Structure 1
Amino acid sequence: MKIITSPAKLMNIENSTDLLRTSTPKFINEAALIQSHLKHKSPKYLSELMEISAKLADENWERNQKWKPTPTAKESAPAMFAFTGEVYRGLDAKTLDKNAVDYLQKNYRILSGLYGLLKPSDKVMLYRLEMGRNFEFENYKNLYGFWTEKVTELLNSEMKKNEILLNLASNEYIKVVDRKKLNHEVIDFDFYEIKEGKLKTIVVYTKHARGLVVRFCAENNAKTLNDVKAFNYEGYRINEEKSTNTKLVFTR
């Protein structure tokens, strides 16, 4: 079983761990190629591309100038600990034990606009480049054109026969995986809050729940879909009526 999530815009490279030996991302040369184009883009371009404030654009322009493929320990952090958005608050990797971290190193991958696909231990520097932005470089109209084949092939090579892929990524990121060429069944997820008898989606809770599922799988050494269906953190329960063979629905 493999699990994938999106990355996060929020990052902190001061976060680290003694439980993982850091590694170099598989697609570091591809990341360096993207950065070689990104580095020459002005703060104004970055602001328009990512729809961010001038202050954030300046900050990310500086990050692009400092980025390098072989950063020092001080300049980088393992991916699972570097991202700090809502998914990663749910995952809360820094409080996991060695067995749980080992489980995630084997089974968990993070999609990335810059790095393609990351293992928990892969060293990343501060960056911002969302997969869905129309960043054009060389002959590519966007990042999907650059990454889809590479990411899908890598997932295929890492997964064993009959393994399933748990999709806990956002729509923006899962689009980079070519489901027709992926030789494995993908299981999607929905999370709902029950308000006045109706099911409601609240984005921030959905993001948090995705991280909670990753944590649950790690802490319970989940190996089968039935193991995942037992997810019950923070009041969530499987809704068998709404779930299907390829989608698990949890409500609370």
Structure 2
Amino acid sequence: MLTVISPAKSLDLSPVAVPATRPAWQDDAVRLSKTAKNLTLGGLKSLMGISDDLARLNRDRFRAFAAEPDAEAVRPAAFIFNGDTYQGLEAKTLEPEDLQWAQDHLRILSGLYGLLRPLDAIQPYRLEMGSRLKTRRGSTLYDYWGDQIAKALRDQAQALGTDTLINCASEEYFKAADRKSLKLRVITPQFMEVKEGRPRIVSFFAKRARGAMARFITQNRLVDAEAIKDFSAGGYAFDADLSGDDAWVFLRDYPEPSEGK
């Protein structure tokens, strides 16, 4: 069983002491960073929907992006992202053995790097998968990556001897994995809160739960998809009645304000 998650906008640049690996598609990241570097501040603002200050920050990051960066300039992918999903994953509290297992079983979808292992050393960046960055391959990053991500996921699944992928990524990112080329069963956990008797998806909670699910799979070395139905972090429980064949719903009561902090 293979699991995918997607990155977040916020970054944690504090140093970490774990061995890092080289991203498989570092050359693509360099190519895309050069394209983004040539945009004006206004172009970056429009591309990403960000403020002047963030546009300057990311322009400087793209200008500093190196083909072979120094060790001080990179962080392992699972540690550098710091959004809701990654707060659920809590990568820095995983044991070294967990991280090594995750190297084979967990993949991070990335607009800039395509596909990352948890310990791949990456440079700070912001480039969401849905960005309409024009390259020679087309007008979006979906055009740029084509079926490359899907084929890499399929190859890794074959190496693991599995035909199942657990999708803990956002819809925006998972669209980059071309389903025709993927040729895997994709199970997507959906996390819902019950309030006033009605279940609904609350983005903030769902993102954290997706990260917690990836952590649960990693810590328990799960290779059978059925085993994820035992997930109970945060009070969630699998609901067979609301679940479909490959969309598995996990419910909990809407948390009190103090619980959601």
Provide the residue aligned with 1:238 in structure 2: 238
What is the TM-score of this pair, normalised by structure 2?
A: 0.93
State the shift of 1:97 in Å.
Answer: 1.2
Q: Secondary structure of 1:249's partner?
A: strand
- Are positions 1:103 and 2:123 aligned together? no
State the shift of 1:66 in Å.
Answer: 0.7
Provide the residue aligned with 1:149 in structure 2: 147
Q: Secondary structure of 1:192's partner?
A: strand
Deviations 1:190-236 (A, max 9, x none): 11001011002110101000000011111111111121111000100
Q: Distance in 2 between matches of 1:10 and 1:85?
A: 6
Provide the residue aligned with 1:199 in structure 2: 199
Percent same amino acid at aligned positions? 35
State the shift of 1:244 in Å.
Answer: 2.0
Q: Is contact 2:137–2:143 with CA below 8 Å preserved after alignment?
A: no
Residue type matched to 1:95 in 2? T
Runs of at least 5 residues in structure 2 that lack an aligned partner in the other structure: 253-261
What is the TM-score of this pair, normalised by structure 1?
A: 0.96
Q: Distance in 2 between matches of 1:129 and 1:106?
A: 25
Q: Distance in 1 between matches of 2:65 and 2:162?
A: 39
Provide the residue aligned with 1:69 in structure 2: 67
State the shift of 1:9 in Å.
Answer: 0.8
Provide the residue aligned with 1:9 in structure 2: 9
Residue type matched to 1:40 in 2? N
- How do 1:1-252 and structure 2 match up within 5 A? 1-18=1-18, 21-160=19-158, 161-252=161-252
Q: Secondary structure of 1:8's partner?
A: coil
Q: Is contact 1:43–1:54 with CA below 8 Å preserved after alignment?
A: yes
Q: Is contact 1:12–1:126 with CA below 8 Å preserved after alignment?
A: no
Q: Is contact 1:78–1:123 with CA below 8 Å preserved after alignment?
A: yes
Q: Is contact 1:4–1:108 with CA below 8 Å preserved after alignment?
A: yes
Deviations 1:136-168 (A, max 9, x none): 122411100111311111112111254311111
Runs of at least 5 residues in structure 1 that lack an aligned partner in the other structure: none
State the shift of 1:13 in Å.
Answer: 2.7
Q: Distance in 1 between matches of 2:184 and 2:236?
A: 27
Q: Secondary structure of 2:192's partner?
A: strand
